[in-house]
Amino acid sequence: MIRSLTTLLGASFRRQLAITAVYAVLQGLTFALLVPVLRALLGGQSATGWLTVFAAVVAATAVAHYIQSRYGYAVGLSAMRGLFHRIGDHVATLPVGWFSGDRVGRLGQLAGKGVMDVMSVPAHLMQVLVTAVVTPATVLVCMLFFDWRLALAALATAPLIWLAFRWTAALVQRNDAAVHDAAAEAGDRVVEFAQQQAVLRAFGRTSEGFDLLDKALARQRTALRRLLGTALPGLGAVALSVQLAFTVTLIAGCALALGGSVDVPELAGVLVLAVRFTEPLLAAADVGAELRLARGSLARVNELLSTPALPEPGSPKEPAVPSVELEDVGFSYGDAPVLHEVSFTVAPGTMTALVGPSGSGKTTLTRLIARFWDTGSGTVRVGGQDVRELSTERLMGMVSMVFQDVYLFEGSVEDNIRLGRPAATDDEVRAAGRAARVDEIVERLPGGWQTRVGEGGATLSGGERQRVSIARALLKDAPIVLLDEATAALDPENEAALVDALSALARERTLLVIAHRLQTIARADQIVVLEAGRVAELGTHDELLTRDGRYAAFWRERSRAQGWRLAGRA
Ligand SMILES: Nc1ncnc2c1ncn2[C@@H]1O[C@H](COP(=O)(O)OP(=O)(O)OP(=O)(O)O)[C@@H](O)[C@H]1O
């Protein structure tokens, strides 16, 4: 752990270790000086000399303690700031696809509590740990000068104490990961429980609770109970071995005193020393739990920081025309293959509709084009260049994405549109808003363009949120648009507005649409039918209807549901 911290925190941590070691040596000397002081006092000699030395060392120890505490907090604070920056900088380089599942929740936990755990090492725990080793070692060396036999008696128990510490650590480590996972899961479930109140209440799940949360809390309880059960014998062994060190020194001292080879004042001094000598060891056992937490958090911070960033090309290429091309693209989430040998081209200025059953890989495919992940096999080209050879900035400049599930940020409608191009003027923002028919939404909002939309855009409907997101894409003015059309049934007014907004977006742009509405599909220049991650059919609407394959069946079924005729076109 010390090696990881030195790598992570650098020279300041090494300096802090040195300062703490000086403090621990001084503390050991303070304890050791009790022997000559007591010997002088109890033996009836003048103690002034030793008392002066003792007072000087106590004063030096107090100064060292002050310096090491202040420095420890300073290092802890700068470690906290440094870690926040490093985590932030690194997270910004990770593939967007990394931020899925429960990773966001766990990242939040790591950036909050995890960083505080790591900070507690230089701020507080390091002192306890260093003094647990250096202070008793200093005392032992001093004891050698007073009476080497008593020193050896105390030293004889050191391997036992060390073994007891190692055993406890091994016992606890076995369950530590399970306790952390259970705590993280319980945290995720609590957040989910709070966020999904509307859904839970709609299904009447308020009184008996939320099964997933109950189970997560029960698992956490079990993991903690198991940890306590396994750790207790170890903690007992540590306390016993430390007491044994004291007892062995006591017995050896008494035996030597009875034999007449140690005088009583010296024995009293050494025994006081033995008591003090065990204090730092017991203190180290007390902070064991905090230390393990810090070690676990440190491991997770290191794991995050070593997650490979999205590789950026050394000499990025320039895209030529706004085209998208997929060649034999294959992709898996972990071991689960999702796309196989997908090939098609979206020519500049044309619109391609992507259709297929749920789970066939449509969303994944659009995300590979925006390089949320890199493909497992094959190549994705934008503007004729492999996306891996374009800088992220250039690729993002080429592509706008309009998601189905649009997230708006806590801010005004205008702020949310401006996200598409932060440098845009107010007029440009409003022009994009008007083109996407956001102006109609704004008219009925109390604060107009400045109305705050609430976290996630909670004060707007799904269709309205998508219109804001289309305005964002219009303002960004990227030549390629990847669009996931809303599946939710919209009221006729919203639907008409959305169609207008999309038409504005489609003008003079290259469009790849995950299409759900028949009007959109029928208007496409090319239709790609995905099935189980493969291109099942590809062609124009008329060609595919004539082929009378999967697309024709899909079209017939949807048309029936919507009251359309088989050959109907928008
Ligand atoms: N982040 C992820 N991690 C693991 N598996 C995923 C992830 N995202 C999607 N999948 C899986 O990949 C497969 C394809 O999902 P994808 O969302 O691309 O399909 P889709 O055709 O867009 O579906 P839908 O129309 O329902 O949105 C599904 O089996 C899905 O469970």
Ligand 1, atom nearest to 334 Cα: 4
**Residues 15, 158 within the same domain:** yes
Q: What is the pLDDT of residues 257-309, one digit of tens each?
A: 888 777 777 777 777 777 777 777 777 777 776 777 788 888 888 888 888 88
- On whether residue 312 sits in a domain, the answer given is no
**At how many degrees (to 10) do helices 48-91 and 2-9 cross?**
70
pLDDT-based confidence at residue 563 (cuts at 50, 70, 90):
low
**Which helix (DSSP H) or strand (DSSP E) does residue 546 occupy?**
helix 541-547
Q: What is the pLDDT of residues 382-394, one digit of tens each?
A: 999 999 999 988 9
ipTM, 2 dp: 0.96
> Which residues have any ligand 1 atom within 6 Å of their CB?
100, 333, 338, 356, 358-364
Ligand 1, atom 2: closest residue by C-alpha: 333
**What pLDDT is attached to residue 564?**
55
Pocket test for ligand 1, best of 96, 103, 329, 362 (most atoms within 8 A of CB): 362
Residue closest to 297 by CA, chosen among 91, 112, 86, 90: 112
**Residues 497, 411 within the same domain:** yes
**Ligand 1 centre distance from Cα of residue 477 (Å):** 28
**Residues 351, 295 within the same domain:** no
Pocket test for ligand 1, best of 363, 514, 531 (most atoms within 8 A of CB): 363
* Cα–Cα distance, 426 to 418 (Å, whole number): 9
- On whether residue 350 sits in a domain, the answer given is yes
**Residues 237, 135 within the same domain:** yes
Pocket test for ligand 1, best of 96, 329, 331, 333 (most atoms within 8 A of CB): 333
Main-chain phi, psi angles of 397, to 5 degrees? -70, -25
**Residues 461, 433 within the same domain:** yes
- On whether residue 535 sits in a domain, the answer given is yes
**Residues 251, 107 within the same domain:** yes
Domain termination residue (choose one: 305, 338, 359): 305
CATH no. for residue 381?
A: 3.40.50.300
* Burial per residue of 134-173, b for 16 or more beta-carbon CB atoms within 10 angstroms, e otherwise: bbbbbbbebbeebbeebbebbbebeebbeebbeebbebbe
**Residues 56, 132 within the same domain:** yes
**Residues 105, 161 within the same domain:** yes
Residue the block writes with tokens 């725990």: 125
- On whether residue 197 sits in a domain, the answer given is yes
**Ligand 1 centre distance from Cα of residue 283 (Å):** 52
Domain termination residue (choose one: 305, 338, 366): 305
**Residues 220, 365 within the same domain:** no
**Ligand 1 centre distance from Cα of residue 358 (Å):** 8
Instruction: Answer whether residue 2 shows pLDDT above 70.
Output: no
- On whether residue 313 sits in a domain, the answer given is no
**Residues 215, 363 within the same domain:** no
Main-chain phi, psi angles of 62, to 5 degrees? -65, -40
- On whether residue 52 sits in a domain, the answer given is yes
**Ligand 1 centre distance from Cα of residue 375 (Å):** 15
Q: Model's pTM, two decimal places?
A: 0.67
- On whether residue 319 sits in a domain, the answer given is no
Q: What is the pLDDT of residues 248-259, one digit of tens each?
A: 888 888 888 888
**What pLDDT is attached to residue 26?**
94
**Ligand 1 centre distance from Cα of residue 534 (Å):** 14
* Cα–Cα distance, 486 to 503 (Å, whole number): 15
- On whether residue 315 sits in a domain, the answer given is no
**Residues 227, 364 within the same domain:** no
Domain termination residue (choose one: 305, 339, 363): 305
- Mean pLDDT over each residue of the chain, to the nearest integer: 84
Lowest mean pLDDT among 20-34, 62-76, 365-379, 491-505: 491-505
Ligand 1, atom 7: closest residue by C-alpha: 333
Q: Which of the two residues, 478 and 165, has the higher pLDDT score?
A: 478
Q: How many domains does the chain have?
A: 2
**Residues 164, 277 within the same domain:** yes
CATH no. for residue 238?
A: 1.20.1560.10
pLDDT-based confidence at residue 567 (cuts at 50, 70, 90):
very low
Alpha-helical (H) ranges within 147-287 are 148-156, 158-195, 197-202, 211-258, 264-286
Domain span at 410: 324-562
